[in-house]
Amino acid sequence: MISIKGLNKVFKTRDKSITAVDHITLDIPDGEIFGVIGYSGAGKSTFVRLINRLEEPTDGTINIDNQEITSLTKKELRVARQEIGMIFQHFNLLWSRTVKDNIAFPLEIAGTPKDKRDKRVQELIDLVGLSGRENAYPSQLSGGQKQRVGIARALANNPKVLLCDEATSALDPETTNSILDLLVDINERLGLTIILITHEMHVIRKICNRVAVMENGNIVEQGDVLDVFLKPQQPVTKKFVEQVMGSQEDDSELSFDNYKNGELIRLHFVGESANQALISKISKQFEVEVNILQGKITQTKRGSYGTLTVQILGDPKVLNETIQYINEETSIEVEVIHHAN
């Protein structure tokens, strides 16, 4: 368990003080992939650097596996950091070292004997899919391969926690997905806790169990990823969800000018309900015409979530019966966007 209480970071300049992280309290269970999302300047990178004390907190405590990181001496912190791996947006590799020597570097610092070090390095090279590239230098690697080296290096000392600070932001979409798949595989194989910092909701959607949304140094919203997709509460969260699902303002472009009878509704599908043949059922059961106008479905780690905007035409009484049927007989949520004139 990672337990953070009242974490605060204030940067002081000659003229003013800037609060980058504002008294955050947060618990992250062992073995979870926990996402922290926010726009530039939200404080998320400062927050993650406070966890391993690359930045010193102004106030607050951080406990990892019942060890209070914030109270450790510098010597004790060097030992504790061996159990907190970190990967970075721009890789931070040693350009004069080969792949295997980059991965071996933290083991050298820890004083691991050469035979054990060589064995561990080969295990990590195989784990991250870099077999055959052991003797390559960073300049000879693609962006995705560089990040794989960074991940292997972060895992060298068998950490309990892996901190990822915008680890996919410098990568193209296909490479991003491959790195995210690797992180999921590592999480499942090794059972380590991963804290993922990002500004991309696609990244959160794909691999995170839970998410915290940061704005102006505060966590303004947090919860299970699927729940956040379903019912985002804060304006900033809604913007992030729109990155994946599109804006509901698009509905304003849908017109009823050509129809006298009908309802414009948005259907929200969650989990198994995304597989229900709803349109076919109501078309057969009720005397209505259903026009599909727009839709989107996406996957989270906990299940599917999708929306479908449809126009249902027919007698007003039958329309009411149709909507009542969807509400009462299915697990699909109905949102009426526009009534017929």
- Is the distance from CB of 212 to CB of 47 less than 8 angstroms? no
Task: List CB contacts of 16: < 8 A, sequence separation 6 or more.
Answer: none
Q: What DSSP element (H or E) covers 313?
A: strand 303-313
pLDDT over 90, % of the chain = 57
Give the domain 2-244 fold.
Answer: Rossmann fold (3.40.50)
Closest CA to 153 of 50, 145, 169: 145
Q: How high is the mean pLDDT of the chain? A: 87
Class level of CATH domain 248-339: alpha beta
pLDDT digits (tens, 9 = 90+) for 218-233: 999 999 998 888 888 9
Rg (alpha carbons) of the chain, rounded to whole number:
25
Please give the average per-residue pLDDT across 58-79, as a whole number.
Answer: 92
pLDDT at 287: 87
pLDDT at 215: 95
pTM metric for this prediction: 0.82
72-88 burial, b for 16+ CB within 10 Å, e for fewer?
Answer: beeeeeeebbbbbbbbb
In the chain, CATH 3.30.70.260 covers 248-339
What tokens appear for 67 in the block? 């060890």
In the chain, CATH 3.40.50.300 covers 2-244
- In this structure, of 57-61, 89-93, 255-259, 295-299, the range with the lowest mean pLDDT score is 255-259
